[in-house]
């Protein structure tokens, strides 16, 4: 284990994830809808709604809505796409 990846209760505090086919390293045990939008679309003013779908090695596939967050696993993949307001 490298120095920048510390463990607390057996879980790393840095995770390697994929957002819109780009690798990212993030800290913490959870990631929020807004954090994912900021990774996928840096500088987003927050006026666009996004659809977020994820797959993980051990968790069931899922979606995130604004205001939600999900526990992280190494290797999780997120697809963040703009949606139309109706």
CA-closest candidate to residue 71, choices 22, 5, 17, 2: 17
* 17-38 average pLDDT score: 96
Per the structure block, which two tokens stand in for 78? 């997120």
Instruction: Give residue 6's pLDDT.
Output: 43
pTM of the predicted model as reported, rounded to 2 decimal places: 0.82
Q: What percent of the chain has pLDDT over 90?
A: 72
* 20-40 average pLDDT score: 96
């Amino acid at each position: 284990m490298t120095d920048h990846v510390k463990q607390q209760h057996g879980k790393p505090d840095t995770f390697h994830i994929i957002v819109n086919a780009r690798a990212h390293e993030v800290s913490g045990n959870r990631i929020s809808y807004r954090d994912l939008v900021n990774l996928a679309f840096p500088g987003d003013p927050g006026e666009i709604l996004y659809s977020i779908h994820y797959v993980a090695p051990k968790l069931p596939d899922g979606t995130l809505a604004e205001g939600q967050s999900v526990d992280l696993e190494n290797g999780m993949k997120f697809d963040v796409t703009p949606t139309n307001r109706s």
